[in-house]
Structure 1
């Protein structure tokens, strides 16, 4: 999808109710909606849910006939009957390493339910609020109300489904001019059960004027977990004037899982946003990364790494709307594809006429490790401004025999030579991650990864 939706986000019921014949257009989607629906309550959050649910009932699950989903077939997803994930399971099933790497400042959700006994948010500076929605004070909830489900792209079907089923939210609020020195880790653990389950994590990060914060958003399952589940995640990041957010997103779900994620970022003038998006897990995964510039002279840096094998499908769609002058955008997304896996990259950069003196660069580099590995790449620039500096490109290659031979001539066997080259390819992205423990863990994952 493109970022061309009104900031009013989800429309009201009257605007949505075009005709009663459009209700419940997709029986499977309505079944998912029924599973994620939470008990009714009063107040603004219920109104938000109701409007989103009304929109979902007018929608359908995307198919390959739609341009935005042309290379990603959801027919296998439709064959699974998902049930709402049971409330928080025994936390002892969690792997200690996951919590150790989560650091000192963390929120932990298990199967979509907040786990306060695993979370640690006491060592935060004044002016920083980190918690789940139900634990916030009334003024803090009012701040959340101003931003929750207000980002562009709220009408996308899976985003609306998430909004319709909001039961809790991981919230990070950073006050004006506050600098958070240590990263805040948002850990979402799924413990698969005997039946296929669906959980819908929701995050909201608000960095007020002049503030700085690093956030790690981490989707995991327990080690050697078996079972099918769907994670439908939405994260909204609001960056005020001259604020800086460094965001690391790691998806390492079960190889039988489905993962659909949305990251919607709003950047005010002079703000900076850096994203490191790592995709490793999931039978089928999709990440929609959407950046909306609302003021001049913003800086946006997007680094992405997809590393898949077996028959995994990983789809990354990004859209950057640079609507004001003097904006800078740099994007590098790499894919390492082995066995019969299939990677998709579609990156759009919009530069309308008001966005003069924009500097935007986009590059997608792909490494295929198997004759049956596949990648579909489509970097795009849509430019109507006439005084800009913009470039985009894509490369698809295999490991070079000459490079392997050179390493062999230095006493390295062929298998280790392949690993060394793959590691170097991935390290360019991973080395930018600001959390040392996570960076080392991911580098170890690349080193021990089955390359196909």
Structure 2
């Protein structure tokens, strides 16, 4: 099925289609979903409820506050088709040696068991696709599509369209020593749409390192709409790295929703490099006391790319802490967006929250819209936020030149140092080194 879109102008300069067309477009995206397999028939009720909600919604426009800096009109110009299952045979360039036998691969949103390997996963830990979880599906149903924020338009579209999911369940007091690599590959088929889904449950006292990686084989136009749900129970720890390096012609709109119980610890490093239009919603809900959240983000874009990050940290109990640093590097005519929200209600006394947005513009035509946001009703807290937007410091360039480094190399070194502050947080050495190489390549 292909999608036809009216080109009747919308009022003002907010897009190319009317609100009616945006609703019809979303419904037609829903109609591209694939049927469920017999093994995942239990998802039918969840999908049907989400599908009913989708038909009440529309593709957002810049009239809406949450989307006023990000125009989705280019998305509406594409006639998408459902992605087919094509299993490429040569993906070694994307594999990580540290996760050689702790890897799940999904191609065009569909599980590829022949490319996956879980030999190093400890006994008792569940890792695989949802269809293979068997008797655990009833337990997983208590977590799947249960995070707050599930009514957001692209999240509910994913829920209505999901046919499978990557599943990780770490039992109580179990530590997974090797990193788990979730590799989502798009083959670059022209104008396809896929809806990857991840469900991660870290039970009380458990620990794991997760790499969520979105890559493309070809530079085609396609739409990836992933959702990841992470449940961290009491005294559990999750280190999560999310890398988006898709086609420069692709659309990527993703959601990460995290729920943290008492004494849990969550760290997230998000790096966004690809996509003509990319957006990541990162939502963390601290549901217990003495929770700790560490967020580090980097968006590095050029040309006409748009890179958007929206984050939420919501406290509900006392003694919670969080620290967030998000960096954007925009070159040429690129447009970076950051909106970070921290909610501290009256019940969340003795909260300690810090948020910083740092942005580097490398071109007179580059643009950044940044909005750190604190909403505090508690009266015994320590909270701070800030934002900076700047170009390269001429004094710093001059200092490096005075040490024998030419001006061009000095600028590249400063840009690299700005990005490396985030990349250096990645706990997997091979992935960190590859991203360092990509950053250097972009500056070549």
Please give the alpha-carbon distance, in whole angstroms, between the structure 1 residues aligned to 2:87 and 2:292: 43
Q: Helix, strand or coil: the match of 1:428?
A: helix
Contact (CA 8 Å) 1:30, 1:57: kept in 2 or not?
Answer: yes
Match of 2:52 among 51, 54, 64: 54
Match of 2:179 among 179, 183, 196: 183
1:141 offset after TM fit, Å?
A: 1.3
Please give the alpha-carbon distance, in whole angstroms, between the structure 1 residues aligned to 2:322 and 2:35: 39
Mapping for residues 117-266 of structure 1, pairs under 5 Å: 117-138=114-135, 140-193=136-189, 195-222=190-217, 225-266=218-259
Please give the alpha-carbon distance, in whole angstroms, between the structure 1 residues aligned to 2:366 and 2:358: 14
Match of 2:7 in 1: none
Match of 1:13 in 2: none
Is 2:349 the counterpart of 1:356?
A: yes
Q: Helix, strand or coil: the match of 2:400?
A: helix
1:86 offset after TM fit, Å?
A: 0.8
Contact (CA 8 Å) 1:24, 1:30: kept in 2 or not?
Answer: no
What TM-score results when the alignment is normalised by the length of structure 1? 0.91
Contact (CA 8 Å) 2:87, 2:112: kept in 1 or not?
Answer: no
Please give the alpha-carbon distance, in whole angstroms, between the structure 1 residues aligned to 2:287 and 2:195: 28
Question: Greater shift after overlay, 199-208 or 122-131?
Answer: 122-131
Q: Helix, strand or coil: the match of 1:354?
A: coil
Is 2:26 the counterpart of 1:29?
A: yes
Q: Helix, strand or coil: the match of 1:355?
A: coil
Superposed CA offset, 1:243-270 (max 9, x none) = 0000000000000000000000000010
1:32 offset after TM fit, Å?
A: 0.2
Match of 1:375 in 2: 368
| Off by >3 Å, runs of 4+ in structure 1 | 22-25, 39-44, 100-103
Question: Greater shift after overlay, 262-271 or 95-104?
Answer: 95-104
Please give the alpha-carbon distance, in whole angstroms, between the structure 1 residues aligned to 2:355 and 2:245: 25
Match of 2:109 in 1: 112
1:43 offset after TM fit, Å?
A: 5.1
Contact (CA 8 Å) 1:56, 1:161: kept in 2 or not?
Answer: yes
Superposed CA offset, 1:348-369 (max 9, x none) = 0000000000000000000111
1:371 offset after TM fit, Å?
A: 0.6
Please give the alpha-carbon distance, in whole angstroms, between the structure 2 residues aligned to 1:40 and 1:434: 37
Match of 1:17 in 2: none
1:372 offset after TM fit, Å?
A: 0.6
Contact (CA 8 Å) 2:349, 2:381: kept in 1 or not?
Answer: yes
Contact (CA 8 Å) 2:37, 2:163: kept in 1 or not?
Answer: no
Please give the alpha-carbon distance, in whole angstroms, between the structure 2 residues aligned to 1:117 and 1:227: 24
Please give the alpha-carbon distance, in whole angstroms, between the structure 2 residues aligned to 1:260 and 1:428: 25
Gaps of 5+ in 2: 1-18
Change (3 A) 1:263 1:406: same
Q: Helix, strand or coil: the match of 2:226?
A: strand
Contact (CA 8 Å) 1:38, 1:166: kept in 2 or not?
Answer: no
Superposed CA offset, 1:29-50 (max 9, x none) = 1110000242586854100000
> What is the total number of aligned residue pairs between the two structures?
424
Superposed CA offset, 1:75-95 (max 9, x none) = 1101101111012x1422x44
Contact (CA 8 Å) 1:37, 1:164: kept in 2 or not?
Answer: no
Aligned Cα root-mean-square deviation (Å): 1.6
